[in-house]
Amino acid sequence: MLEQIDLDLRLNKHEYRQRLVDLQTRLYHMEQALFEARVPALFLFEGWAGAAKVRTISVITRRLDPRGLRVHSITPPRTYELQYPWLYRFWLKTPSYGQIAIFDRSWYRQVLAERVRQEVTVADWRSHCEDIVAFERQLADDGAVILKFWLHISRGEQGRRFKKLLGDKTTAWQVTEDDQWQHRHYDEVRDAVEDMIARTDMPYAPWIVLPATSAHYVRVAAFDAILNALEARIGRPSLPDLASREEMLDTSGVSFRRGLDLLRTGGARPIPLPAPHNGASVEASSPDAHASISPAGVSVLRRVDLSRKLDARTYDRKLNQLQAKLRLLGFQVYLQKRPVVIVFEGWDAAGKGGTIQRITEKLDPRSYVVHAIAAPTGEDKAHHYLYRFWRRLPPRGQIAMFDRSWYGRVLVERVEGFARPDEWQRAYAEINEFERQLVEFGTVVVKFWLHLSPEEQLRRFEERQTIPYKAWKLTDEDWRNREKWSQYEQAADEMLLRTSTPAAPWTIVEADDKRFARIKTLRTLVRRLEAELGKVKL
Amino acid sequence: MLEQIDLDLRLNKHEYRQRLVDLQTRLYHMEQALFEARVPALFLFEGWAGAAKVRTISVITRRLDPRGLRVHSITPPRTYELQYPWLYRFWLKTPSYGQIAIFDRSWYRQVLAERVRQEVTVADWRSHCEDIVAFERQLADDGAVILKFWLHISRGEQGRRFKKLLGDKTTAWQVTEDDQWQHRHYDEVRDAVEDMIARTDMPYAPWIVLPATSAHYVRVAAFDAILNALEARIGRPSLPDLASREEMLDTSGVSFRRGLDLLRTGGARPIPLPAPHNGASVEASSPDAHASISPAGVSVLRRVDLSRKLDARTYDRKLNQLQAKLRLLGFQVYLQKRPVVIVFEGWDAAGKGGTIQRITEKLDPRSYVVHAIAAPTGEDKAHHYLYRFWRRLPPRGQIAMFDRSWYGRVLVERVEGFARPDEWQRAYAEINEFERQLVEFGTVVVKFWLHLSPEEQLRRFEERQTIPYKAWKLTDEDWRNREKWSQYEQAADEMLLRTSTPAAPWTIVEADDKRFARIKTLRTLVRRLEAELGKVKL
């Protein structure tokens, strides 16, 4: 999903300057409040070489009191560090209660390198991810606020930046061998990053992907995310009404010194935290605490080019061809005894039903089943939300299509408040665990988001109102959902980012034109199945 | 640690009968309260073949309303069940909100068999344990109460029971091939069980080991644990003042029917739970909610034979021999670049210091370091409790001895209230994760509990009071701790059960006789090091 991120988000210089002062001041006060509350914080900056991690960190820390802060630049381990278990050196760098630790690269540096360069076995790689999850959970349970940033630029942008740096003798040294290697293997690294995020994205230590083409944008977005996460934990400190920055500094000096004395005399115990897990503490705070953690500006959906169309003749030709291939692939699914799960999510009236129909039209009716998922009833309602999907899983050799799915938890249930914030926030990890178990069993998992413009949706709603045989499809609820378009868009964006993995990727389908949408869906499906089951010939 | 459990715990028939009626009545009312509160519960019964799991389940369920209850007997998967991911069939058996599911064997049946019969790779086995942890956490987060019982009998007892069953034609069929295999491989299975418990023992789904030699005892203890766990979650239902059991049944019939109607009409949503994780909810309830989960009667320590002694002459001879071997092994530690961690825990005045001194006496002083762990100070106090142990880990090729250790979290911090219940409860999993990382890195982990009788401790305290050069060792705190003997004993018992693994086992050292204690410690250490580094010859 990373390739879909809107990397063009910018902020003009004037707006940036205006916001920067405010953000720096707020973080400065937050730093003191954090110290008083004895809450430790860890902010990790990972990202592409050339994405300007260091400059971003520098702007964020510039106005902070250095006594409350440590910046750690993580290089490969020294010889003496290899004498200890691998997380040893990171434990030593955990912040004291009340301090902020900022990591320029982190423990993820190693797992990313291992995965991309295939230095360790898959089992060992997973075991390292487990170590990380345990490490971060232990710190979070102990009260730490943890945010993990991925600074994202495109391959082209990375190339341009390298070229510029290399063209100047005084900056050429900044582009290392390693960086060049990364650039040549951009796609593999991107896959590894998605996998790493899916395995380690937890409510108590979330990943935040920041588009980093614009330096102004990435700084403001990082500030926002940090401030929101800290406010969610300890509340908003009251800003003193000060005339000058100098005065502020003096005040803080006193406060810090008092704190340090307290620490030295050993008089203070860390304050007890509201609840061991993040879910609960977010719940206790403002309702939009989490939402604002993922910067509102980052949208993969706004980038989708909805003008794509297909003429009727090409459509007919391609449809016939793809359906014929699908029929053969359906037979292979049966022969090779592989289960297949296809998920359809998307806006109301985006054409999910019609697309599914085009898929099943020529399939052997014994080879597939379609589950239309509405609100749970009966025993499904009396169980864990994943229960009704576990019981509808296809056996080996069968295809199951889900017209809406478990993703309802982080879409409709989130937006409509049917799930509590702690419930839908932990659902990303639960869904990743669920799909991982399917994939490890050998299931082919394919997921489509059918994307529509609000204008086209309106046109289709009105059409449904006027055409009698389509009228039953349109309910009052559809109109109500439409009013919450931007909330649904935000939920879908976050879902796409947090649950797309190389083994169970999302495909966004441009669905303003039905013909285009159907062909893209069928083509994607044929390609995925061919990749898993082998090519078929007509 | 399982071999140390006191399997002789009994209950006489009269006492059993008296308690049984009360327990059955309480559970019956609890079943209704659970249903009204829409809280699901899962009780798993695992254990040795011949430990009478089924009869135990039968006594527990006999007086319950069958409509609120399902008993699942788990056999190896059917052919059709093999068509799905392995947890599929267990998801289908999860209880509805408000229902109790009792499992005669469970998802642990498979992982235990895989581990003992080496049917899968170590990596796959771990991955299955991970699946289980995710499964149980998802259910617990959704509000389920989960308890996992291991019914424990000795190898000899198992043999006697098999013999009795096999001697009678009408019961001989009950002893399967599998059961006989298990009996022949008792020790390997016991190791596998310890490993399984260490990997899957979580505050939200704890393992409870029940000595099952006495049928009366195991039933009452299981009842106790179930009632305590349910009361900790939903409180104690008020018992109606009823004349007869018949009347009770009628009342409940109504209540159940009302509940079922509610379910059928789909009117009820599960009530929101107090907190997503168990830690918090236990904290919210009575302080001894957790303590009573591990049945008070189960003590590994009360079984220790403290009368064991060694005469001075044998002591001198053996000490010389073992110290000479240790010196050679210390050199091997250096040559083979293996880190070694030795933990000493035990009662005040149990002789930890003296024992450590006998270990180090002949060692190369460059090869080891001793950390005496008292209350944390300075930066240790301002970090996660594991931080101070991470930073004191030995590098490759060095031995680190800890005179008291991270286990303080579940001993002194638990008993003295320095750690909150949710903190020390999650510490078992944290410590197991910590030691697992050490072991996977190649560290040799050896742990000793020096055990003392209260009488011998008193004698030593009084001796310290009268002998001037020993007086500094005795503080007021020692006397205070002595008054909490039984609380410390309970904490130590639970620690030994929850944190002993084949890779990082506990050794209980009988320490009433100092000579015996020192020789046993040195001998155990020499054996462990020889097993890891190869035998040494004098």
pLDDT at site A238? 66
Mean pLDDT of B437-451: 94
Angle between helices B186-200 and B421-441 (to 10 degrees): 120
d(C-alpha A195, C-alpha A147), whole Å: 18
- Please list the alpha-helical segments (H only) found in B235-337: 245-265, 278-284, 312-335
Chain A residues whose CB is inside 8 A of the B270 CB are: 382
Residues of B with CB below 8 A from A422's CB?
Answer: 276
For residue B98, the Cα-to-chain-centroid distance in whole angstroms is: 28
How many contacts, defined by CB atoms under 8 Å, are there between A and B? 143
Between CA B492 and CA B484 the distance in angstroms is 12
Contact (Cβ atoms closer than 8 angstroms) between residue A449 and residue A346: yes
- Tell me, what's the pLDDT at A491? 94
Identify all chain A residues contacting B96, using CB atoms and an 8 Å cutoff: 379, 382-383
pLDDT > 60? residue B115: yes
What's the pLDDT at A235? 85
Task: Indicate the residue type of B298.
Answer: V
Euclidean distance between CA atoms B195 and B112, whole angstroms = 9
Q: Would the CB atoms of A266 and B378 count as touching at under 8 Å?
A: yes
Q: Strands A399-403 and A368-372, how do they pair?
A: parallel
pLDDT attached to residue B14: 87
Cβ atoms of B112 and B48 within 8 Å: the answer is no
Quote the distance between the C-alpha of residue B382 and its chain's center.
Answer: 30
User: Among partner residues A141, A277, A384, which is closest to B142 by beta-carbon distance?
Assistant: A384
Cross-chain residue pair A390–B88, CB shorter than 8 Å: yes
Q: What residues of chain A lie within 8 A of the CB of B91, using their CB?
A: 386-387, 390-391
B325 CA to chain A: closest CA distance, Å? 25
Share above pLDDT 90 across residues of chain B, in percent, rounded to a whole number: 60
Closest in A91, A121, A390 to B390, CB measured: A91
**What is the model's pLDDT at position B261?**
37
Check CB contact under 8 Å for B441 and A397. Answer: no
Chain A contact set for B387 (CB, 8 A) = 91, 94
A230 burial type by CB count under 10 A (0-12 exposed, 13-18 middle, 19+ buried)? buried
> Taking CB atoms and an 8 Å cutoff, what residues of chain B touch A391?
91-92
Tens digits of per-residue pLDDT, B495-520? Answer: 998 998 888 999 999 999 999 999 99
What is the band of A464 on the pLDDT scale with cuts at 50, 70, 90? confident
| List of chain B residues whose C-beta atoms are within 8 Å of the C-beta of residue A272 | 420
- Among A96, A93, A95, A99, CA closest to A35: A99
Q: Do A387 and B279 touch (CB under 8 A)?
A: no
β-pair partners for A147: A43
Chain A: residue whose CA lies nearest to B391: A92
What is the least distance, in Å, from the CA of A516 to any CA of chain B?
Answer: 35
Start-to-end CA span in chain B (Å) = 32
pLDDT at position B162 over 90: yes
Facing A277 at nearest CB: one of B86, B276, B440: B276
Instruction: Give Rg (Cα) of chain A.
Output: 25
Q: Are B339 and B305 in contact (CB under 8 A)?
A: no
Any residues with CB less than 8 A from the CB of B8 and at least 6 apart, and which? Answer: B211, B213, B214, B303
Contact A266 B426 (CB under 8 A): no
Does residue A297 register a pLDDT over 60? no
Q: Nearest-CA distance from B367 to chain A in Å?
A: 14
| In the predicted structure, residue A276 carries a pLDDT above the cut 50 | no
Average pLDDT value for chain B:
85
Q: DSSP string spanning B201-255?
A: -BTTB-EEEEE-SSHHHHHHHHHHHHHHHHHHHH-PPPPP--S-HHHHHHHHHHH
Cα nearest neighbour of A139 on chain B: B384
Work out the pLDDT band at B238, boundaries 50, 70, 90: low
**Residues B342 and B528 sit within 8 Å (Cβ to Cβ):** no
For residues A24 and A320, the answer to whether their CB atoms sit within 8 Å is no
Please give the sequence-ordered ranges of beta strands (E in DSSP) within A325-433, or none if there are none: 340-346, 368-372, 399-403
Give the nearest partner residue to B384 out of A94, A276, A277, using CB atoms: A94
d(CA A294, CA A114): 28
The nearest CA of chain A is from the CA of B151 a distance in Å of 29
pLDDT given for residue A268 in this prediction? 36
Instruction: Record the tokens describing residue A282, joined without a space.
Output: 């977010």
The yes-or-no verdict on residue B2 having pLDDT over 50 is yes
Report the mean per-residue pLDDT for chain A.
85
Pairing of strands B368-372, B145-152: unpaired
List CB contacts (< 8 A) between A83 and chain B: 339, 395-397
Q: pTM of the full predicted structure?
A: 0.76
Closest approach of chain A CAs to the CA of B188, in angstroms? 24
Beta carbons of B376 and A270 less than 8 angstroms apart = no
Mean pLDDT over B286-291 rounds to 38
Q: Which residues of A touch B133 (CB under 8 A)?
A: none
What is the average pLDDT across B214-234? 92
Rounded distance between C-alpha atoms, residue A452 and residue A350, angstroms:
6
Q: Beta strand pairing status for B100-104 and B340-346?
A: unpaired
B328, B389 contact by CB (below 8 A): no
pLDDT score for A245: 38
- The alpha carbon dihedral of A131, A135, A136, A138 has a sign of positive
> Which CA distances in Å does B243 have to A80, B18, B256, B302, B351?
75, 18, 21, 42, 59
| Residue B407 near residue B496, CB atoms below 8 Å | no
Distances (CA, A) of B198 to A192, B131, B496: 31, 15, 11
Joined together, the tokens standing for residue A8 give: 């063009």
Confirm if B351 and B464 have CB atoms less than 8 A apart: no
Q: A67 vs chain B: nearest CA distance in angstroms?
A: 14
Distance CA B472, CA B507 (A): 29
Could you say which DSSP state residue B263 is in?
H
Report pLDDT digits (tens) over A356-391: 999 999 998 888 999 999 888 888 888 899 999 998
Contact check, Cβ <8 Å, A437/B131:
yes
Give me the percent of chain A exceeding a pLDDT of 70: 88
Q: Is pLDDT of A39 > 90?
A: yes
DSSP string, B495-524: HHHHH--SSS-EEEEE-SSHHHHHHHHHHH
Contact (Cβ atoms closer than 8 angstroms) between residue A499 and residue A431: yes
Length of chain B: 538
Would the pLDDT of B132 be above 50?
A: yes
Confidence of residue B83 (pLDDT cuts 50, 70, 90): confident
Assign A148 to helix, strand or coil: strand
Q: What's the pLDDT score for residue A298?
A: 63
Top residue of A67, A87, A390 to mutate, by most chain B CBs within 10 Å, is A390
SS3 call for B458: helix
